[in-house]
Amino acid sequence: MCGRYTLRVSPAELAEIFSVLNTIDWSPRYNIAPTQTVVAVRAREQNDGRELALFRWGLIPSWARDDKIASSLINARAETAASKPAFRTALKRRRCLIPVDGFYEWQAIPGQKTKQPFLIGVRDVRVFAFAGLWEHWTAADGSERQTCTILTTEANELMQQVHTRMPVILDAADYDRWLDRQRQTADEVADLLKPFPAARMQLTPVSTLVNSPRNDRPECVAPLPRQGTLL
């Protein structure tokens, strides 16, 4: 799964990296957690380029009666998203990129109660992107909310050391195809929903500061010596 991540670049850098036509108000984040506001990249309405958007992390399907479901829909399994009522329409029509420069996972250590957190990244890339889905939702009082979820898949060889699942990381060469609003069948993008190559990724042990979403500062990403872990 994916429950925490980082995005430490500026709005100007995001606009350059993802070739978008607008900018947003964003400050560096070191410990982004579910239900918080996140940055996404989506296709413009006429499919004539990309734009940055702000979503709430935790998808609320358009048919939901209230927003309580959001906390249980922060991730969507890639293997079943096409058949799940909560995700199948978004998979056809509302795909997005979730810009990331690192994400966290926790490893159980024999004989210890506290798990060891790791910051996980892609080598030699400033920012990469998760495959995401987004939705419109209208509350009973008429207020509107745009929300998103992150697709997950089986862990690759590296990630298996800390978890059985991992977020779907897209290669930059596949961004256009993932965002293409004309591709409206799950089969047209199904081959993208696979584990990212382990050789292109790295795991770095970090402080347990990240265990609390209240901690959102540079110390969260500071590397620790690789001691007392299974890696």
Q: 95 is written with which tokens?
A: 């795909």
Q: How many CB atoms are located within 10 Å of the residue 18 CB? A: 20
Q: Could you give the maximum distance between any two Cα atoms of the chain, in Å?
A: 56
Long-range contacts of 107-111 (CB under 8 A, 24+ apart): 107/161, 107/162, 107/229, 107/230, 107/231, 109/228, 109/229, 109/230
Tens digit of pLDDT at every position of the chain (231 positions): 789 999 999 999 999 999 998 989 999 999 999 999 999 999 998 778 999 999 999 999 999 999 999 999 999 999 999 999 999 999 999 999 999 999 999 998 888 889 999 999 999 999 999 999 999 999 889 899 999 999 999 999 999 999 999 999 999 999 999 999 888 788 899 999 999 999 999 999 999 999 999 999 999 999 997 655 455
Residues 16, 45, 105, 220: which is the catalytic one? 105
- 36's tokens: 């918080």
Residue pair 79/172 in contact by the 8 Å Cβ criterion: no
Contact 131, 178 (CB under 8 A): yes
pTM for the model stands at: 0.95
Domains of the chain: 5-221 (3.90.1680.10)
Active site residue: 2, 96, 148, 220, which one? Answer: 2
The reply to whether 2 belongs to the active site is: yes
Active site residue 105: yes
Q: Please calculate the CA angle 116-161-30 and round it to the nearest 5 degrees.
A: 45
- Residue partners of 229: CB distance under 8 A and separation at least 6: 107, 109, 116, 205
